[in-house]
């Protein structure tokens, strides 16, 4: 057992969409890791729900085939068997009220148990599920509901979903999940900022030149073509993941680490984001769409040749944009956000570029290197934090070379890497809301993104810029930064 944490209270984890991809790839493997680490209460149960009539043995065989392969580390056969002993299966059609009394009967018992209803389903089922849970009394006490994204396709549809859910559950019972906020390096960013005196004096416009936040994927849309073509990179990634990371970087120190104190500061950042005018969208955003190329040395087709994609689709698979925050700390500091599919590599990182020294004392090719004065928080594939600077190389000449301090917390503390979903699932069971989006955050994020969406939809005669699969996106993305005299992290 990890001695720095305590097991959860007794709980029932109810997984709607229990045979779905999210449950198999992410939720069950994450719950297994928590179980193997001794972090789950011995009385904790996992109840998977699905529309098919399956026996428990049938479902466990399905789990063995479809979920066990996604346990990437620390697998132990005995721990897996004891984990599976927690799992039960119940046939429940989420759209049929008649199936919910059986669920309520299954969950009756100790009133002190926490009941987590994880809605790993399409968002159009959220309202019906919540209504059916309320009809059988499963909407009070220690009942919590986890809502997966996407929560709508625009502000109106998002408000409709949240209004429907709010009819049956209080805001403090709702956990809108964004798994990027569960990553260890994001937590360490908050610790570095708010627990150390070193960075806080520098964390402002006087000393930071720009901030770059990138989430790139080397995969294409795969089997999600139908879903993705109706969504696009702006809705799928910018409106939630990228904006949440921006908030963590830019927020003021909260009064404490309680949920509302943290989320109040994030909300202030979202409210301070400068709105986009029609001219701003043209000048400060880039949308792209990948064409055929090669990834990892293997040829791949273009987006328009993917399964389920219309031949005339203008859905963007790449977005780069320049965001600006109108407050005293960040006025004049550009925040560059970028995300895309079929890019050169899979990476998620936050890059803080500090300003150069005011006067160069040293001559030579590296004296004004852009690789210095830079903090890089890597979120994936491996989590790390590096501080780049210039140092004298050994020898009798004052010759500078780039160097870095590698803040490897795993080596320092010698603990396993907890998956983001594992951390967030444990927080739900423990009732910790700080890493989950509050409704007013979601509203402000949609308000900021909508002018971009609307402008792009009116530009039907201006298709997305093409970029070759296996590259870092359209050339216009580099040009966006070059106007500020800089380049993306990998270009420097």
Element (H, E) at 420: helix 420-430
Q: Which two tokens stand for residue 353?
A: 């570029």
Q: Would you say 288 and 466 are in contact if contact means Cβ atoms under 8 Å apart?
A: yes
Catalytic hit among 35, 70, 209, 241: 241
Strands 208-216 and 334-340: what pairing?
parallel
The strands making up 318-324's β-sheet, listed across from edge to edge, are 400-407, 384-392, 374-380, 347-354, 208-216, 334-340, 318-324, 285-291, 465-468
Element (H, E) at 479: helix 475-482
In the DSSP assignment, the letter for residue 56 is H
Q: For residue 477, which of 314, 325, 316 has the smallest C-alpha distance?
A: 316
- How far apart are alpha carbons 475 and 232 in whole angstroms? 20
- β-sheet bridge partners, residue 404: 388
Residues in the chain: 492
In the DSSP assignment, the letter for residue 55 is -
Report the half-sphere exposure of 101 (CA within 13 A, side-chain side). 1
Q: Is 179 annotated among the ligand-binding residues?
A: yes
Residue 459, C-beta contacts closer than 8 angstroms, at least 6 positions apart: none
Q: Is 465 annotated among the ligand-binding residues?
A: no
Q: Is 217 annotated among the ligand-binding residues?
A: yes
Annotated catalytic, 241? yes
Active site residues: 241
Binding-site sequence positions for substrate: 179, 183, 217, 236, 341
Binding-site sequence positions: 51, 149, 179, 183, 217, 236, 341
Binding-site sequence positions for NADP(+): 51, 149
């Amino acid at each position: 057992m990890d001695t720095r944490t305590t097991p959860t209270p007794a709980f029932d984890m109810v997984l709607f969409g229990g045979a779905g991809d999210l449950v198999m790839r992410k939720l069950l493997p994450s719950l297994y890791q928590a179980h193997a680490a001794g972090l789950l209460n011995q009385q904790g149960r996992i109840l998977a729900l699905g529309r098919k009539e399956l026996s428990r043995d049938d479902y466990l065989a399905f789990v063995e085939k479809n979920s066990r392969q996604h346990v990437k580390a620390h697998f132990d056969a005995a721990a897996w068997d004891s984990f599976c002993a927690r799992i039960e299966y119940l046939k429940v059609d989420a759209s049929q009220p008649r199936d919910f009394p059986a669920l309520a009967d299954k969950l009756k018992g100790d009133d002190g148990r926490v009941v987590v209803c994880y809605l790993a389903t399409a968002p159009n089922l959220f309202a019906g599920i919540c209504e059916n849970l309320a009809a059988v009394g499963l909407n009070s006490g220690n009942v919590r509901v986890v809502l997966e994204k996407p929560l709508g396709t625009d502000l109106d549809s998002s408000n409709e979903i949240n209004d429907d859910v709010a009819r049956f559950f209080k805001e403090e019972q709702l956990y809108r999940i964004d798994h990027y906020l569960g990553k260890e390096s994001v937590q360490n960013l908050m610790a570095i900022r708010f627990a150390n005196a070193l960075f806080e004096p520098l964390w402002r416009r006087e000393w930071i030149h720009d901030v770059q936040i990138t989430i790139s994927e080397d995969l294409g849309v795969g089997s999600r073509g139908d879903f993705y073509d109706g969504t696009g990179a702006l809705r799928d990634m910018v409106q939630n993941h990228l904006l949440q990371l921006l908030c963590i970087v830019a927020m003021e120190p909260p009064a404490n680490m309680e949920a509302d104190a943290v989320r109040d500061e994030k909300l202030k950042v979202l409210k301070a984001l400068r709105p986009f005018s029609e001219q701003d969208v043209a000048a400060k955003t880039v949308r792209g769409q990948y064409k055929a190329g090669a990834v990892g040395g293997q040829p791949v087709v273009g987006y328009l040749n993917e399964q389920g994609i219309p031949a005339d689709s203008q859905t963007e698979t790449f977005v780069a944009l320049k965001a600006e925050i109108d407050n005293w700390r960040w006025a004049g500091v550009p925040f560059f956000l970028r995300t895309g599919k079929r890019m050169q590599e899979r990476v998620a990182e936050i890059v803080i570029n500090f300003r150069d020294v005011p006067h160069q004392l040293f001559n030579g090719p590296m004296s004004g290197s852009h690789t210095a004065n830079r903090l890089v928080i890597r979120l994936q594939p491996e989590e790390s934090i590096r501080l780049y600077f210039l140092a004298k190389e050994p020898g009798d000449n004052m010759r500078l070379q780039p160097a870095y301090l590698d803040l490897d917390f795993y080596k320092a503390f010698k603990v396993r890497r907890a998956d983001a979903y594992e951390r967030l699932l444990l927080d739900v069971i423990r009732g910790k809301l700080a890493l989950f989006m509050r409704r007013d955050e979601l509203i402000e994020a949609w308000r900021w993104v909508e002018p971009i969406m609307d402008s792009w939809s009116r530009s039907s005669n201006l298709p997305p810029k093409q970029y070759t699969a296996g590259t870092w996106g359209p050339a216009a993305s580099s040009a966006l930064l070059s106007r500020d005299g800089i380049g993306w992290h990998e270009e420097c």
